[in-house]
Amino acid sequence: PARIRTVHLRRFKEEGRRFAMLTAYDAQIASIFDEAGVEVLLVGDSASNVMMGRSTTLPITVEEMLVFSRSVVNGAERALVVADVPFGSYEASAQQAVETGVRFMKEAEVHAVKVEGDASMAGHVRAMVSAGIPVMAHVGFTPQSEHALGGYRVQGRGDAAARVLADARAMQEAGAFCVLMEMVPSDVAAEVEAALDVPTIGIGAGPATTGQVLVWQDMMGMTPGRLPRFVKRYADLRGTVAAAAAAYAEDVRSGAFPAEEHGF
Ligand code: KIV
Ligand code: NA
């Protein structure tokens, strides 16, 4: 199947077609989502939480992200693969942003990177784009700024709506091929989607965006505990995996596994 490219996402918007993005962090899951027809795979820095057991995305390193990114690229034939540039690896200067983006393109061979930030990051994004690095911008609630923003909260309520729109416009202007909005009121996200030429992707941003994204472990029931309200659960993999692990352990203890046919 022909590779999905950034130009196709733009075309989807023009044609009024929606597309799906899911996170992925390893080759097997990437190949499953790829074969299922998911158009975009995001190697999110949410790997810090869901893969590495940390409580925020902030500590994940470029080296760690490169391993996850390489793995997803290896597993995906058709999907566009986008990797998050982690906290601390791009903010200091446009040069640092280009150098980090180049590492992702060169060492992991991802097709694009995602950059969190408001309009103040537009210069960095512009430099990355002119270096040949396709950039997806991430505005609204940006988890890398959790401590600066005062926790997990909806962005763009009331007067702040204009700021989300201004940030999105600045990112499009800087050359971003797509703008992702996280935890933004649905009406504000609809306004941004209508105002931009490039497609937008939402997570907790309502139904108007061209694309939607979720963390796969959240939507497939791997993540324990309470989930954000924007998650819809499509499977109970934690239950399935736990039951299989318990059945295996019980079989080992009772001697039911391995049986005759499992031996040589
Ligand atoms: O890291 C991530 O998984 C993300 C998505 C939730 C948008 O940035
Ligand atoms: Na992220």
pLDDT score of 49 more than 90: yes
Q: What is the atom index within ligand 1 of the atom nearest the CA of 114?
A: 8
* Distance from residue 230's CA to the centre of ligand 1 (Å): 13
15 has binding-site annotation? no
When pLDDT is averaged across residues 80-100 and rounded to a whole number, the result is 98
Residues of the chain above pLDDT 70, percent: 100
Confidence of residue 165 (pLDDT cuts 50, 70, 90): very high
Is residue 1 over pLDDT 90?
no
> If you take atom 4 of ligand 1, which residue's CA is the nearest one?
44
Q: Is the ipTM of this complex over 0.90?
A: yes
Half-sphere exposure of 262 (CA within 13 A, CB side): 6
* pLDDT reported for residue 191: 98
Which atom of ligand 1 lies at the shortest distance from residue 143's CA? 8
DSSP-assigned letters across all residues of the chain:
-PPP-HHHHHHHHHTT--EEEEE--SHHHHHHHHHTT-SEEEE-TTHHHHTT--SSSTT--HHHHHHHHHHHHHH-SSSEEEEEPPTTSSSS-HHHHHHHHHHIIIII--SEEEEE--GGGHHHHHHHHHTT--EEEEEES-GGGHHHHTSS-----GGGHHHHHHHHHHHHHTT-SEEEEES--HHHHHHHHHH-SS-EEEESS-S-SSEEEE-HHHHTT-S-S---TT------HHHHHHHHHHHHHHHHHHT-SS-GGG--
Q: Is 187 annotated as a binding residue?
A: no
Is residue 105 within 8 Å of residue 147, measured between CB atoms?
no
Is residue 13 marked as binding? no
Return the residue whose CA atom lies nearest to atom 1 of ligand 1: 44
The overall average pLDDT reported for the chain is: 97
Mean pLDDT calculated for residue range 27-46: 98
Half-sphere exposure of 67 (CA within 13 A, CB side): 8
The Å distance, Cα 158 to ligand 2 centre, comes to: 25
- Asked about 182 being catalytic, the answer comes back as yes
- pLDDT over 90 at 161, yes or no: yes
pLDDT band at 137 (very low <50, low <70, confident <90, very high): very high
| Residue range 114-121: mean pLDDT, rounded | 97
Query: What is the model's pTM?
Result: 0.98
Does the Cβ of 192 fall within 6 Å of ligand 1? no
> Taking residues 130-155, what's their average pLDDT?
95
Q: What domains are there in the chain, each with its CATH number?
A: 6-233 (3.20.20.60), 236-264 (no CATH)
Q: What is the CA(140)–ligand 2 centre distance, in A? A: 12
The percent of residues above 90 in pLDDT, for the chain, comes to: 98
Residues 182-225: pLDDT tens digits? 999 999 999 999 999 999 999 999 999 999 999 999 999 999 99
